[in-house]
C-alpha cells in the first residue's frame, strides 16, 4: 500500500528530450562535482549518474574554458545537460550555443538587466529551458528591504516576479522554478505558497543539506512532505557526497511513495541474538548488486532460518542461513539450500530466473 497522491497538474516544459511537469514522471536530476573543464572526468561522472538512473545533469560553468568544454560534454552526454550560471550572462549565451538543454539562473544576482534580457532571448531562440533558481541566501535587495529576512513569502514574490517578467516581456514559457533554503521547513513553505500561485513546474529539494545521513534526512523530510501534497515535478537530493548517492536516495524516496521504481527494494532484518550469519556483509553485497539492476523486485536479506522466510514472505526472493548453510526462499517458501559460501551466487541466479519468468518486472528508463 502506498499513500494516495494527487499530483498538481503543472505546465509541461522541455529540457532537451525530457518532459517535466503535467503527468510526466517526477524526473531525477543531479549535478556533477568534477571540474567542467576536465571533459573526460565530467563525462565519466555523467555516465555513472546516467547508469544509476539520473535523467538530467547540471554542470557548473565558472569560466570560458568550462564553456568551451561544454561542446563536447553536451555532444557525448547520454542525458540533457543544464548549465549552472552565476553572475556572467555572456557565459550563459555561449553555453546555450554549445548545446545545453537548460540553464539555471538566479536572476536576482544579475545586476545588468540588459545582459539578462539578451540571455533570455538566446534561450528562447534555442528553446533552452530556464530554471529560475531562487535561493534564500541571495535574494535581490528590493525584496529583502520589503521583507527584512528571506522568508518563504519573500522567495515566492521574487520567483513570481521573474516568471512574469520572462513570460510577459519575452512570451517564453519554457520555465521551471526552484525555491531553495538550507532550512527544510522554509523550503517547503515556499514551494507550497508558490504552488498555490503558479502552474509552472517545480524543481524541489533542500540545498546545502549536508552529508549522506543528515542530508538524506533533510531532503527526505522536505521532498516527502511536498510530494505527498502533490507538489514537485523534478527533484535533486543535494548531498555532500558522491552525486551517484543523490540519485539512489531520490529513487528510494519516490519508491516509498509509490511514485517511481527503478532498483530492487531490499528489506533486511535488524538482526538479533538468533542471527548466525554475517548479515551486514550479505546485505552490503546484495545492495551493491541491486544498484546495477533496474527491476521492480523486492528482495529480503534475513538473519535466521527460524523466522527469516516467514517474516519476509512478502518479498519476491530472499536469503538467510546459519551454521554454514545458506537458504534461498521465494515468496516465503524455501526453494534451495546451498553451502553458505555459494549463497550469493545462487541467489543472483535465482533472481535471473525469476526475471526471465517475469519480464514485466524489468524497467527501461
**According to CB under 6 A, which one of 12, 41, 271, 363 is a site residue for ligand SF4?**
271
Smallest separation, CB 343 to ligand SF4 (Å) = 15
Question: Which CB atom, from 192 or from 331, has the smaller least distance to ligand SF4?
Answer: 331
Geometric angle at alpha carbon 66, from 65 and 69, rounded to 5°: 90
DSSP state of 362: B
The answer on whether 129 is annotated among ligand-binding residues is no
Q: Give the count of beta carbons closer than 10 Å to the beta carbon of residue 186.
A: 20
- Identify whether the C-beta of residue 365 lies closer than 8 Å to the C-beta of residue 55: yes
Q: Give the count of beta carbons closer than 10 Å to the beta carbon of residue 151.
A: 18
166 binds ligand SF4 (CB under 6 A): no
Smallest separation, CB 312 to ligand SF4 (Å) = 8
The answer on whether 123 is annotated among ligand-binding residues is no
Query: Which contiguous run of DSSP H or E holds residue 104?
Result: strand 102-105
Query: Which contiguous run of DSSP H or E holds residue 185?
Result: helix 184-197
Smallest separation, CB 305 to ligand SF4 (Å) = 8
The answer on whether 54 is annotated among ligand-binding residues is no
Question: Which CB atom, from 102 or from 308, has the smaller least distance to ligand SF4?
Answer: 308
Strand partners, 268: 301
Total residues contacting ligand SF4 by CB under 6 A comes to 12
**According to CB under 6 A, which one of 272, 357, 360, 364 is a site residue for ligand SF4?**
272
Question: Which CB atom, from 134 or from 275, has the smaller least distance to ligand SF4?
Answer: 275
The b-or-e profile of 279-297 (16+ CB within 10 A means b, else e) is: beebbebbbebbbebbbbb
The sheet with strand 129-135 has its strands ordered as 175-180, 129-135, 102-105, 81-84, 56-60, 27-31, 234-235, 203-204
Smallest separation, CB 331 to ligand SF4 (Å) = 17
**According to CB under 6 A, which one of 308, 318, 321, 326 is a site residue for ligand SF4?**
308
Contact region for ligand SF4 (CB under 6 A) — 228-236, 283-291, 296-304, 330-338?
A: 296-304
- Identify whether the C-beta of residue 320 lies closer than 8 Å to the C-beta of residue 337: no
From residue 211, alpha-carbon distances to 56, 148, 223, 242, 259 in Å are 22, 30, 17, 10, 25
The answer on whether 311 is annotated among ligand-binding residues is yes
Distance separating alpha carbons of residues 68 and 332, to the nearest angstrom: 57
Contact region for ligand SF4 (CB under 6 A) — 91-99, 161-169, 234-242, 297-305?
A: 297-305
Question: Which CB atom, from 1 or from 272, has the smaller least distance to ligand SF4?
Answer: 272
Question: Which CB atom, from 96 or from 312, has the smaller least distance to ligand SF4?
Answer: 312
Task: Considering only CA atoms, give the Rg of the chain.
Answer: 23
303 binds ligand SF4 (CB under 6 A): yes
Kindly report the length of the chain: 365
275 binds ligand SF4 (CB under 6 A): yes
266 binds ligand SF4 (CB under 6 A): no
307 binds ligand SF4 (CB under 6 A): yes
326 binds ligand SF4 (CB under 6 A): no
315 binds ligand SF4 (CB under 6 A): no
**According to CB under 6 A, which one of 274, 281, 349, 358 is a site residue for ligand SF4?**
274
Q: Which of 78, 116, 118, 75 is nearest to 98 (CA)?
A: 75
Residue ranges binding ligand SF4 (CB under 6 A): 269-272, 274-275, 302-304, 307-308, 311
Binding site feature residues for [4Fe-4S] cluster? 269, 272, 304, 311
Amino acid at each position: 500500500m502506498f499513500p494516495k497522491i494527487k499530483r498538481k497538474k503543472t505546465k509541461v516544459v522541455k529540457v532537451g528530450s525530457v518532459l517535466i511537469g503535467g503527468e510526466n514522471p517526477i524526473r531525477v536530476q543531479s549535478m556533477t562535482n568534477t571540474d567542467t573543464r576536465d571533459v573526460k572526468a565530467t563525462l565519466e561522472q555523467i555516465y555513472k549518474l546516467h547508469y544509476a538512473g539520473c535523467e538530467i545533469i547540471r554542470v557548473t560553468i565558472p569560466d570560458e574554458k568550462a564553456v568551451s568544454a561544454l561542446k563536447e560534454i553536451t555532444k557525448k552526454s547520454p542525458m540533457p545537460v543544464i548549465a549552472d550560471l552565476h553572475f556572467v550572462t555572456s557565459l550563459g549565451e555561449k553555453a546555450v550555443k554549445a548545446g545545453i538543454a537548460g540553464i539555471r539562473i538566479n536572476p536576482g544576482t544579475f545586476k545588468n538587466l540588459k545582459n539578462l534580457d539578451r540571455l533570455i532571448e538566446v534561450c528562447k531562440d534555442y528553446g533552452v529551458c530556464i530554471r529560475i533558481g531562487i535561493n534564500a541566501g541571495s535574494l535581490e535587495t528590493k525584496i529583502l528591504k520589503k521583507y527584512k529576512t528571506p522568508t518563504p513569502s519573500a522567495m515566492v514574490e521574487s520567483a513570481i516576479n521573474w516568471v512574469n517578467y520572462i513570460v510577459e516581456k519575452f512570451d517564453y514559457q519554457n520555465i521551471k522554478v526552484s525555491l531553495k533554503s538550507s532550512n527544510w521547513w522554509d523550503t517547503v513553505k515556499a514551494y507550497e505558497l508558490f504552488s498555490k500561485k503558479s502552474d509552472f513546474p517545480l524543481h524541489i529539494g533542500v540545498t546545502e543539506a549536508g552529508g549522506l545521513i543528515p542530508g538524506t534526512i533533510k531532503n527526505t523530510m522536505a521532498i516527502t512532505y511536498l510530494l505527498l501534497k502533490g507538489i514537485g515535478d523534478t527533484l535533486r537530493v543535494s548531498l555532500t557526497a558522491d552525486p551517484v548517492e543523490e540519485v539512489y536516495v531520490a529513487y528510494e524516496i519516490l519508491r516509498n511513495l509509490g511514485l517511481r521504481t527503478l532498483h530492487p527494494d531490499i528489506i533486511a532484518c535488524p538482526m538479533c541474538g538468533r542471527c548466525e550469519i554475517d548479515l551486514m556483509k550479505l546485505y552490503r553485497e546484495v545492495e551493491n548488486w541491486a544498484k546495477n539492476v533496474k527491476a521492480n523486485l523486492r528482495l529480503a536479506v534475513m538473519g535466521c532460518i527460524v523466522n527469516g522466510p516467514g517474516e519476509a514472505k512478502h518479498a519476491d526472493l530472499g536469503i538467510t542461513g546459519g551454521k554454514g548453510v545458506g537458504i534461498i526462499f521465494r515468496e516465503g517458501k524455501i526453494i534451495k539450500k546451498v553451502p553458505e559460501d555459494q549463497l550469493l551466487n545462487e541467489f543472483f541466479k535465482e533472481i535471473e530466473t525469476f526475471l526471465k519468468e517475469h519480464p514485466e518486472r524489468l524497467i527501461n528508463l
